[in-house]
Amino acid sequence: MLYGIKDLITYFFGLKPEYSSLRKKEFWALQNINFHIYENDIVILAGLNGSGKTTLTKMLAGIYETERGTIEYHTKIKKIISVFAIKSGFNPILTGRENVYLKAAYYGMSRKEIDENMDFIISFSEIGSFLDTPIGKYSSGMKTRLAMSLVLSIKSDILFIDEAFSFSDSKFKTKCFKFLKEEYSNKGRALIIATHRFTEISDLANRLIVLEKGKIINMTVDVVQGIKDYTAN
C-alpha cells in the first residue's frame, strides 16, 4: 500500500514513478521485447499461461502503458480493436440485437456502422430469428457466435484477439479462420492472435512469436516448424 500511495502522489503531480529497480516481490512481466508488425501480417503470439502474451497484447493495443521502451506506429492507424473476453459484456435481459448495439458501441462503432453491419452479423452468426430473444436464453455457443460475428464485422486496421478461439464449435471456428485470412492477409491490415492453443491456427498465420517468462524465445515465418520446435521442447 505504501508503494501504491507513493505512485498515486507521483501521478497526481504529473510525474511518472521511477522503475529503474524492482521493488520487493516484483518482476518484469516483459523483458527485451523487440519486433515489427507489417501490413498483411497475421501473427500468432504464442506461449503458456503467464508467459506475458496478454500483457504484451494490451500494451500494443494501448490499454497498458510501457514502463520502459516505446511502441511506434509508422503509418496512420484509424482503428485498433482488441478482443480479450469474447462473451463478456452481454446483458442477459437484453435481446441479442440490443446487445449487439451495446457491445458495438463499446468497440467504438457508430449507430450507422452497426446498422450497415447488422445483416453480416446475423448471417455470419447463424442466429437467425433468435436475434430478438433475450440473450440470457442463448446457449454458450450462440453467445460466442454472436460476439465473434460482431468483432469480425469491424473494419479495423489492427485486430488483437486474445484466447477468443477456445470455444468448441469447430465448424464455426473454421469459418472464422477462413474469414480472417481473407480479410487480414491482403488488405493492408494486421491481425495478432495471442493464444496457447496455437496448433489449430497454424495454417492461418504467416509469422510466429513465442514468449516464455516475458521474453521472446522464438520468432519465425515458418509457423508450422516453429510450433513443432516449441512443442518438442
pLDDT in 10s for each residue of the chain, 233 residues: 777 788 788 888 887 766 667 777 778 889 999 999 888 899 999 888 889 998 998 888 888 888 788 888 877 776 677 776 666 678 999 999 999 999 888 888 889 999 999 999 999 999 888 999 999 999 888 888 898 899 899 888 888 888 766 666 788 888 988 898 888 888 888 999 888 777 777 888 899 999 999 999 999 888 888 877 877 77
Contacts 24+ apart (CB under 8 A), 120-123: 120/149, 120/152, 120/153, 121/146, 121/149, 121/150, 121/153
Question: Domain coordinates of the chain in residue numbers?
Answer: 28-232
- Whether pTM exceeds 0.85: no
Looking at domain 28-232, its CATH architecture is: 3-Layer(aba) Sandwich (3.40)
